[in-house]
Amino acid sequence: MKLATNKLASLKHLLRWSDILVVAVFLTVIAFLFMQSRPQLSWMEAQMHPDQAKEIMMQEIYGTPLHPEYNPKIFSQRFKTWRINITGWFSEKPFSNRFVHYFNSMQGWVADCSSCSDEDVCTDLEEVILPYPIDITKDQLKEKINGNKELMIIDVREVDTYAQAHIPNAVNLPLLEMVDWVFPANRWSEIVVVGDSYFQTKVAVETLRRLNFHRLFRLLSPVKSWDGDLNNFL
């Protein structure tokens, strides 16, 4: 009887430690996702000069395969790429993506008022404000394509990848060239950014926010997982 009691007490003790371990791992993962997913801009950084926006973007992608000087032999660059890939993996999973995309929306609220479309900044506080950039699913993008003929889909992948397969009507603006091409566009255009990875599209939409674009969306999944029609130039 005493032996059984001791085993039960040991089991309860083990369960307590296992609970603590599970909570610790969970909090560690959440902290990791927060650090990797939190926005790298604030509302005050909007309306930047294109050269400033490009400079910040190059700093963000430095040490990753998106940068022209990426060197996989350097450990710090391989490690940064590993962190980015892990975050991308979490962003596509049904449970963890809730945290990733919540942290990604923490840049603040952005005005969404057509009545202010001719102004540099919307000052009507009674108008609708939304947490742009907004992450959307494949089904939500299909609805937008069907319901908005003026929707601008920007594909920030490289030219050869885009040529192999791309979403119909998507305009190819490779990430490193995007700023120069998109800067003259209407700041109130509804824009969806698509690409190869979570990190690539995250950098792109945050760069567009710095240029004071308002209605920005980001496709959650990479283009390669698109289950609708695809066009190609091959």
Instruction: Tell whether omega for the bond before 133 is within 30 degrees of 0, i.e. cis.
Output: yes
Beta-carbon contacts of 84 under 8 Å, excluding residues fewer than 6 positions away, are 36, 64, 197, 198, 199
| Regions of the chain where pLDDT drops below 70 | 1-27, 29-30, 32-47, 107-129, 234
Q: How does pLDDT run across 94-113, given as a tens digit for each residue?
A: 777 777 777 777 766 666 66
Is 187 within the bounds of a domain?
A: yes
Quote the number of domains for the chain. Answer: 1
Residue 154 inside a domain? The answer is yes
Residue 149 lies in a domain: yes
Kindly state whether residue 5 falls inside one of the protein's structural domains. Answer: no
Q: How many residues are there in the chain?
A: 234
Q: What pLDDT is recorded for position 95?
A: 79
User: Domain for residue 21, yes or no?
Assistant: no
Q: Is residue 4 part of a domain?
A: no
pLDDT digits (tens, 9 = 90+) for 203-221: 999 899 888 888 899 998 8
The domain spanning residue 141 has which CATH number?
Answer: 3.40.250.10
Q: What is the pTM of this model?
A: 0.80
Instruction: Say if residues 219 and 166 touch (Cβ distance below 8 Å).
Output: no
Domain hosting residue 147, numbered range: 38-225
Measure the CA–CA gap between 162 and 152, rounded to whole angstroms. Answer: 16
The pLDDT value recorded for residue 135 is 87
pLDDT at residue 170, as a whole number: 93
Within a domain: residue 6? Answer: no
